[in-house]
Structure 1
Amino acid sequence: MKVTFLGTGTSQGVPVIGCECEVCRSLDYRDKRLRVSILVEVGNKNFIIDAGPDFRQQMLRERVKRVDAVLFTHEHKDHTAGLDDIRAFNFMQHIDMPLYADQRVLNQLQQEFSYIFTNHTYPGVPRVELHPIQNQPFDLQGVPITPINVLHHRLPVFGFRIGDFTYITDANYISEEEKEKIRGSKVIILNALRKEPHISHFSLSEAISVLEDLAPEQAYLTHISHLLGLHQRVEKELPSFVKLAYDGLALTI
Structure 2
Amino acid sequence: MESGPDIDRTALIFLGTGCSGCVPDVRCLIQPSDPPCPVCSQSLSLPPHLNPNYRCNTSLLIDYYSEKDGKHSYVVIDVGKTFKEQVLRWFTFYKIPRVDSIILSHEHADAVHGLDDIRSVQPRSSTNNTDTNPVFLTQFTMDSIERRFPYLVQKKLKEGQVPRRVSRLDWRIIEEDCSKPFTASGLSFVPLPVMHGEDYVALGFLFGEKRKVAYISDVSRIPPSTEYVISKAGAGQVDLLILDTNTTQKKSSRATHICFPEALEIVKRVSPKRAFLTGMTHEYDHHVHNDMLMEWSQREGIHVQLARDGLRIPIDL
TM-score normalised by structure 1 residue count: 0.95
Distance 2:186 2:54 in 1: 35
1:24 matches 2:40: yes
Q: Residue 102 of structure 1: which of 128, 135, 138 is its match? A: 138
Q: Which runs of 5+ in 1 are unaligned?
A: none
Moved more, 62-71 or 77-86: 62-71
Tell me the matched-pair count: 252
Indicate the RMSD between aligned Cα atoms, in angstroms.
Answer: 1.6
How much does 1:190 deviate? 0.2
Write the letter of the residue equivalent to 1:171: V
CA contact (8 A) 2:75 2:184 kept: no
Deviations 1:181-205 (A, max 9, x none): 2122100100001122141111100
1:162 maps to which residue?
A: 207
Change (3 A) 1:109 1:234: same
Q: Residue 69 of structure 1: which of 101, 112, 125 is its match? A: 101
Distance 2:63 2:105 in 1: 18
1:9 matches 2:12: no
Q: Once the two structures are aligned, what percentage of the paired residues are identical? A: 31
How much does 1:122 deviate? 4.9
Deviations 1:133-177 (A, max 9, x none): 012212223211111110101210110111111110110111121
1:180 matches 2:228: yes
Distance 2:272 2:82 in 1: 30
**Which protein is bigger by CA-based radius of gyration?**
2
1:146 matches 2:194: no
1:192 matches 2:245: yes
Distance 1:105 1:95 in 2: 23
Deviations 1:26-55 (A, max 9, x none): 346011001110101122211000001111
How much does 1:92 deviate? 5.4
Write the letter of the residue equivalent to 1:147: P
Distance 2:145 2:187 in 1: 24
1:39 matches 2:71: no
Q: Residue 167 of structure 2: which of 120, 126, 143 is its match? A: 126
Distance 2:220 2:156 in 1: 39
Change (3 A) 1:161 1:92: farther
1:81 maps to which residue?
A: 113
Distance 1:179 1:82 in 2: 30
CA contact (8 A) 2:75 2:185 kept: no
Distance 1:48 1:142 in 2: 13
Deviations 1:112-146 (A, max 9, x none): 11122354475211111110001221222321111
Moved more, 118-127 or 108-117: 118-127
Q: Which runs of 5+ in 2 are unaligned?
A: 1-9, 66-71, 232-236, 298-302
Write the letter of the residue equivalent to 1:98: P
2:311 maps to which residue?
A: 249
Write the letter of the residue equivalent to 1:40: I
Write the letter of the residue equivalent to 2:187: V
Distance 1:236 1:126 in 2: 42
Distance 2:266 2:152 in 1: 39
Q: Residue 234 of structure 1: which of 269, 272, 289 is its match? A: 289
Distance 1:174 1:86 in 2: 31
1:55 maps to which residue?
A: 83
SS at structure 2 position matched to 1:73: coil
SS at structure 2 position matched to 1:31: coil
Change (3 A) 1:30 1:141: closer
How much does 1:88 deviate? 2.5
